[in-house]
Amino acid sequence: MTKPVVPRRGRSTRPAAPRRLLEGAKSLLSWYNAIIGGQDYQRYVAHLQREHPGCEVPSERQYWRDRYDEAERKPQNRCC
């Protein structure tokens, strides 16, 4: 008869390699999200609520429309 495997105190029974792989994937997705501006709308809303509490908060769709329109009006701010 074999003894059941009992995890040592404070340690996970999960292998370390898949956990590191998952953490690496999350880190890569977070980096990519930062590059494409995925958190920009949330930061903008937080700024409006903090600095301009009486202002109407635009929808996310309207925010991106305005942002792209501004980029088209000022092409010198783009790399391409």
Amino acid in the structure at residue 15: P
pTM: 0.55
> What per-residue string of b and e applies to 32-43 under the rule 16 or more CB within 10 Å gives b?
eeeeeeeeebee
Tens digits of residue pLDDT in 9-63: 666 665 678 888 899 999 998 888 888 888 899 999 999 999 999 999 999 999 9
> How many Å apart are CA 26 and CA 59, to the nearest integer?
27
